[in-house]
Amino acid sequence: VTATPFDRVNIYHIFINKTNGFTKMERYNLDPDSLFVNDYHETSPRTTVSPTSKPPVTTECFTLNFTTNNLIYRPQMSNPKSKLFSSTQAVYAKLLGQILSTSKIGPDFINCRLSTLRPVNQGENTGIDIVCCYRKNAKAPPFDRVNIYHKFVNETNGFTKMERYNLDPNSLFVNDYHEESPQTTVSPTSKPPVATECFTVNFTATNLSYRPQMANPTSKIFSLTQGVFCKLLGQILKTSKIGSDFINCSLSTLRPVNQGENTGIDSVCCYRKNATVPPFDRVNIYHKFINETNGFTKMERYNLDPNSLFVNDYHEESPQTTVSPTSKPPVATECFTLN
CATH of the domain at 105: 3.30.70.960
**pLDDT score of 339:** 43
Residue 336 banded pLDDT, cuts 50, 70, 90: very low
State the Cα–Cα distance between residues 33 and 44, nearest whole angstrom.
6
Q: Please tell me whether residues 11 and 63 are part of one structural domain.
A: no
pLDDT in tens, 61-81: 888 999 999 999 999 998 887
Q: Are residues 88 and 140 in the same domain?
A: yes
Buried b (16+ CB within 10 A) or exposed e, 232-256: bbeebbeebbbeebbbbbbbbbbbb
Question: What digits encode the pLDDT tens for the residues 30-52?
Answer: 887 788 887 778 765 543 344 55
Of the three residues 143, 174, 205, the one that is the final residue of a domain is 174
Q: Residue 257 burial (CB < 10 Å; 0-12/13-18/19+)?
A: buried
Q: Residues near 52 by Cβ (< 8 Å), separated by ≥ 6? A: 204, 257, 258, 305, 307, 308
Same-domain pairing of 304 and 199 = yes
Please indicate, yes or no, if residue 254 is contained in any of the structural domains: yes
Task: Look up residue 222 and give its amino acid.
Answer: F
Backbone angles phi, psi at 175, to 5 degrees: 50, 45
Residues 62 and 34 in one domain: no
Q: Output the pLDDT for position 338.
A: 52
pLDDT range class, residue 317, cuts 50, 70, 90: confident
Contact 60, 238 (CB under 8 A): no
Q: What is the pLDDT of residue 56?
A: 57
Is the pLDDT confidence value at 333 over 60?
Answer: no
pLDDT of residue 96: 96
Q: What is the pLDDT of residue 47?
A: 37
Domain encompassing residue 307: 194-311
User: Which is more confident, 189 or 23?
Assistant: 23
- Single-letter residue type at 118: R
As a whole number, the mean pLDDT across the chain is 83
Asked if residue 270 belongs to a domain, the reply is yes
Enclosing H/E stretch for 100: helix 83-100
322 in a structural domain: no
Residues facing 197 on adjacent strands: 271
Kindly state whether residue 182 falls inside one of the protein's structural domains. Answer: no
68 belongs to a structural domain: yes
Residue 133 pLDDT exceeds 80: yes
Q: For residue 210, what is the enclosing H or E element?
A: none
- Summarize the confidence of residues 78-90 as an average pLDDT: 88
Indicate whether 121 and 199 sit together in one domain. no
Residue 335: inside a domain, yes or no?
no
Sheet holding 262-273, edge to edge: 246-257, 262-273, 195-205, 310-311
Asked whether residue 305 falls in the same domain as residue 235, the answer is yes
User: At residue 110, does pLDDT exceed 70?
Assistant: yes
Q: How confident is the model at residue 154 (pLDDT cuts 50, 70, 90)?
A: very high
Inside any domain, residue 333? no
Provide the pLDDT for residue 332: 46
Domain count, the chain: 3
What pLDDT score does 30 carry? 83
What does the alpha-carbon distance between residue 203 and residue 163 come to, in Å, rounded to a whole number? 38
Q: Please give the pLDDT value at position 46.
A: 44
143 shares its domain with 69: yes
Given its phi and psi angles, is residue 172 left (phi above 0), alpha (psi -120 to 50 degrees) or beta?
A: beta
Between 5 and 66, where is the model more confident? Answer: 66
- Please tell me whether residues 215 and 158 are part of one structural domain: no
The answer on 157 and 102 residing in a single domain is: yes
320 part of a folded domain? no
Residue 312 has pLDDT above 80, yes or no: yes
264 and 164 share one domain? no
| HEC profile of 115-166 | EEEEEECCCCEEEEEEEEEEEECCCCCCCCHHHHHHHHHHHCCCCCEECCEE
In a shared domain, residues 215 and 119: no
Question: Which comes out higher in pLDDT, residue 300 or 116?
Answer: 300
Whether 329 has a pLDDT exceeding 70, the answer reads: no
Contact predicate 306/316, CB 8 Å = no
Mean pLDDT of 85-102: 93
Question: In this predicted structure, which of 54-68, 203-217, 220-234 has the lowest mean pLDDT?
Answer: 54-68
pLDDT at 52: 57
Last residue of a domain, one of 174, 208, 237: 174
Q: How confident is the model at residue 87 (pLDDT cuts 50, 70, 90)?
A: very high
Q: Are residues 169 and 203 in the same domain?
A: no
pLDDT at residue 279, as a whole number: 84
Number of neighbours of residue 140 by Cβ within 10 angstroms: 15
